[in-house]
Structure 1
Amino acid sequence: MTELADAGHPSSRTDVPRDVRTTGRRRVVTAVLAYAGVRALGLAVLAVWSATRGTSPHTLLAARWDSLWYTRVAEGWYGYQVRLPEGGVHSDLAFFPLLPALERGLAQLSPLSAPDAGLLVSAVASPATAWALYLIGERLHGPRAGVCLAVLWGAVPVGVVQSMAYSESLFTALAAWALWAALTGRWVWAGTLAALSGLTRPVGAAVVAALWCAALRELWRRRRGPGARMALGLLLAPAGWFGFVAWVGVRTGSVTGYLDVQGQWGNGFDGGWAFACFVWENLTGTFVGGLALLAGVALVLWLYALCVRQRQPDALLVYAGIVVALALCAKGYFGSKPRLLLPAFPLLLPLAAALSRCRTGRAALALGALAAASAVYGAWWLNGSGPP
C-alpha cells in the first residue's frame, strides 16, 4: 500500500524536504493511533458491560449473527442452507466470498480458528481504513480534517461493528483505498481494489460505479480516450462483483440466482416502501421510536446534501449516494440500516471539515464525547438486539 499512500501526496515527490515527508508520516500515524484509541475504548466498555451481564464479548464479536455464516463458509465453503419452519430457505450463497476465504486461509496457516481469523481481518482492515480516510480528508480539506475523518468513522454509533468478524471493515478499507487511488489517478490500483471490494459485499457495485463516473468526468475534461492503465483499471473494477453474482447464477441455474437467494432472506430493493411502512408503524405505535427513525433518515440525507454543496469529487458523491440509496431503499432487516450505512464515510467529510476549523481543544472534546457515546451505545447494542 506504500505506493497508494504516497500517490498524489507531497511526500511522493523527491524534491520535498525530508522533514516535510516525516511530518506527513507522523500525521498518518497520529490519525491511525487516534482511531485505534476510539476502538480500544469501545472494546473496553464492551468488556465491562458484558461482564456485568454475564455475556462473552468474544462471542458477541466473533460468533453471532452473520459471523456464524461467514464461519460456515470458511470451514466448509458454499452449500450450507437452513430451511425455515414456514418453508423458506436461507442459503450461504447470500454471503460474498472474500472474508470467509481470508478466514479459511488464516485458519489453515495459523493456530487461529475461523472466527478469530475474522476478528484479525477486521483488526487489520479497520486501521487500514483509517489510514485511507486520513489521506482523503487531508487531500480535500487539510491534515486536521484527515485526522477528524478517521476518528469520526471510528466513533459512529455502530462503530463496534468495525471490530466484529463482519465484512464491513474489510469492505470499507478496500473501497476507501480504491477511491483514493482513483482520486490520485492510480487506475490499475483502483480497479484491482474495486474488484476485491466486489468480492466482499453486494455494495461493491457502488465502488465500480464511482470509478466509472470519475473516469468519464476525467475523459470529458481532457477530451480524449482512456489510456491503457485507465482502461485496464476500468475493466478490472467489476470483475469481482460480476464474477461472484455470475457464479451464483450458474450454481442456482438461474440468471437471477443471486437476487433469488437474497429474496429468500427477505432482502430486495423496493425503493424504500417497506422501510417507510416500518417507520410509519413506529410513528403510530411507539411514537418516540418512529421520530428517532425519521431524525436518523433526515440526518443522513442532510449530510449527503452537505457533501453535494461541498462539491466533493464525483467518485465520493456517486459512491456515497449509492450506498445510502441501497441502505435506505432495501426491504427487510430494518435494524441493520445503520450497519449498512457504515461504509458511507464521505457523509462524515462535512463534519470533519467543520471540526478541523475549530480550536484543537474543542475538536478533541467533541470527538472524545462522540467516542464515549459510541462506546456505550455499542456495548448496549451488542448486549441487546445487536446486528441481525
Structure 2
Amino acid sequence: MGKIFLLFIGWRGFLLVTLSFAIGILPLQMNFLGGGLSNYLKHPYLWAWINFDGEHYLSIARQGYQPLTFFYFPLYPFLIRFLANIFGQDFVNLAISGLVISNLSFLIGIIGLAKLIRLDYSEKIVKLAILILLFFPTSFYFGSYYTESIFFASVIWSFYFARKGRWFWAGFLGGLSSLTRIIGLAIFPALLVEFFIVSDPARRFLKLRLSKFLPAFYLLMIPLGLSFYMFYLKRETGDPLEFFHSVSIFGEQRVPGFVLLPQVFYRYVFKVLPNIDYSYFPVVFTTWMETITAVSFGGLGLLGILGGFVLRLHSGSMRRIRIPKIRLSYVTYLVIGYLIPTLSGSFSSMPRYVLVLFPAYIIMAMFLSRVPKIAANLIFFLLIISLFIVTSLFTRGYWVS
C-alpha cells in the first residue's frame, strides 16, 4: 500500500505542476470557471479543479437541486454537504470538502484495484494497470470536483467483495454507484454473471438449494440506488426519468432518445470530424480524443469478449494470438459501461466516462507486458503528454470532456 500511496502523491504532484505551467502559458477562458472569475484568480490551485460540471455539483451541495440540474446524481453532493457540516457550509469549505472526498475516494479506489487485480494476475500487471490509469489523459478528473472518484471506488470494492463472496457489501456498494451515476446499473448484470456463472457454477446449478441463491438478492440493492433517485424526481418534478430527459440541455450533440452505436460512429465520421474548426486546437484535440477513445475502448471491449468467452484456443493459428484472459463479469461491466453513454448519440465526454471501466486497464496492462520495453515506454510517454495537455486545457477553462 505504501507504493500505491507514493504513486498517488506523484500523480497529484504532476497535476499541480501541470497547472503551474498552464497558468503561465494558456490564456484563461472565463465562461465555466469553478467559483467564478474572482475566486479563480485569487486561488487558482483550488478553484481550477471545480470547472464545468464541478460548478453544478457545488451548487447542488450548497442549495439543493434547482431546475436543469437533475441530470447530476445526488450521492456526491450529499456527501460534500455532509462533510462540510463539520467545518461550516461556506463556499470555500464546500469546495474543499468536495476535493477531499474526490482525492480520498480515488486513493481508496486504486488500493482496491490493486487488491482486485492481484486475485488473478501478477504484480507486474497490477503495476502496469495502475500506471495506465494514473497517466490516462483524463485521469485528472479523479482529483477534481466530479463523481469519477467515488464511483470508481464503489465499483472496485463492489467487485472485490463479490470476488470474496461478501455479497451484502457488493450489493450495498453497487447501490451507492447507481446513486452516483447511471453507469452504475452496469454493475448489476456484471455481478449477476459473477454469482451465477463465474463463481463455481457447477455447485450452484447442480445443488439447487435456496440458501445457495439467497446472497444474490443482496444484488438487488444495486438498482435500488437509482430507484431512490427516481422516486425523488417523481416527487419533485413529476418525471422519474428527468435525469434522462434533461440531457438535451447539453446541446445538439446529445438527444433525449436512444441512438445505436453504429449511428454514432457514422455521425462522427461523416458529419462531426469533417466539419470541426481545424484552426482551433482545443476543439480539434478534444473531438479527435473522443473519437479515438470510442474506437479504442470499443476494441478493448471486443477483446474482452473474446478473452471472456474463449479462454482456450487450441487451433494452431489461433494459439499464437494470445488473447488476454479476463473474467466474464468484468467483460460484462466493460461492454455495458461503454455502451450506456453512447445511447445519447454522442461520444462527447467519452474520455471521461471510460475512466471507471477498470477491466480495460487490465487488458491494456496485459498487452503492454508483452510488447518490447521501448514500445511500452513510448505509449506511456504519449499518455503523459496527453494528460499534460488535457489537464492544462481543463484547468484554464477549456472544455475537454
Instruction: State the TM-score, normalized to the length of structure 1.
Output: 0.80
User: 1:195·1:239 contact (CA, 8 Å) conserved in 2?
Assistant: yes
Q: Which residue of 1 aligns with 2:354?
A: 341
Q: Is the 2:195–2:216 contact (alpha carbons within 8 Å) kept by the matching residues of 1?
A: no
Matched, 1:164 2:150: no
1:277 to 254, 259, 267: 267
Distance change (3 Å), C-alpha of 1:352 and 1:235:
same
Partner of 2:190: 210
Instruction: Quote the Cα distance in structure 2 between the aligned partners of 1:348 and 1:35.
Output: 17
1:321 aligned residue (332, 335, 346): 335
Contact 1:174 1:197 in 2 (8 A): yes
Match of 2:46 in 1: 58
1:308-353 deviation digits (Å, cap 9, x = unpaired) = 2333212211111111101233235x43121111111211112212
Partner of 1:70: 57
Is 2:224 aligned against 1:239?
A: yes
Aligned residues: 349
Q: Which moved more, 1:101-110 or 1:254-263?
A: 254-263
Stretch deviating more after TM superposition (146-155 or 375-384): 375-384
Q: 1:190: how far off?
A: 0.4
CA shift at 1:125, angstroms?
1.0
Residue 294 of structure 1: how far off its partner (Å):
4.7
Inter-partner Cα distance in structure 2 for 1:353 and 1:274: 29
Partner of 1:174: 154
Once residues 123 and 380 of structure 1 are traced to their aligned partners in structure 2, the CA distance between those partners, rounded to angstroms, is 20
The answer (yes or no) to whether the contact 2:190–2:333 under 8 Å persists in 1 is: yes
Conserved 8 A contact 1:31-1:146: no
Corresponding residue of 2:389:
376
Is residue 306 from structure 1 mapped to residue 303 from structure 2 by the alignment? yes
Post-superposition shift, 1:386?
Answer: 2.4
Residue type at the aligned position of 2:235? V
3-state secondary structure, aligned to 1:200: coil
Root mean square deviation of aligned Cα: 2.9
Query: How far off is 1:168 after superposition?
Result: 0.8
Cα distance change, pair 250–291 in 1 and its aligned pair in 2 (3 A): closer
Give the superposition deviation at 1:302.
1.7
Report deviation, 1:137: 2.1
Cα distance, 1:184 vs structure 2 = 2.1
- Tell me the secondary structure at the aligned position of residue 246 of structure 1: helix
Task: State the match for 2:321 in structure 1.
Answer: none
Contact 1:320/1:346 (<8 A) preserved: yes
CA contact (8 A) 1:41 1:372 kept: no
Report SS of the residue matched to 1:157. coil
Structure 1 match to 2:366: 353
Cα distance in 2 for residues equivalent to 1:346 and 1:385: 29
Indicate if the aligned counterparts of 2:290 and 2:350 stay in contact, CA closer than 8 A: no
Tell me if structure 2 keeps the 8 A contact 1:31–1:151: no
In structure 2, distance between residues paired with 1:242 and 1:161: 26
Distance 1:67 1:292 in 2: 21
Unaligned runs of 5+ in 2: 29-43, 279-283, 309-325
Rounded to whole Å, the distance in 1 between the matches of 2:14 and 2:172 is 34
- Residues 1-388 of structure 1: pairs in structure 2 closer than 5 A: 28-53=1-26, 56-62=44-50, 64-78=51-65, 80-81=66-67, 91-110=68-87, 113-217=93-197, 218=199, 220-221=201-202, 222-223=204-205, 224=208, 225=210, 227=212, 230-265=215-250, 266-268=254-256, 269-272=258-261, 273=263, 276-286=266-276, 294-311=291-308, 312-331=326-345, 334-356=347-369, 367=380, 370-383=383-396, 385-387=398-400
Partner of 2:39: none
Identity of aligned residues (%): 22
Displacement of 1:354 in angstroms is 3.2
1:30–1:147 CA contact under 8 A, matched in 2: no
Distance 1:267 1:339, change over 3 A: farther
Offset of 1:270 from its aligned partner? 1.7
Give the structure-2-normalised TM-score: 0.77
Shift in alpha-carbon separation, 1:52–1:204, aligned structure 2, 3 A: same
Can you list the C-alpha shifts for 1:155-186, whole angstroms capped at 9, x where unaligned? 11111111110001110111111112112212
Q: Structure 1: where are the runs of 5+ without partners? A: 1-27, 82-90
* Deviation of 1:193 (Å): 0.4
Query: Deviations for 1:203-258, whole angstroms, at most 9, x for unmatched residues?
Result: 11112221222222147432134537613422322221121123212322235444
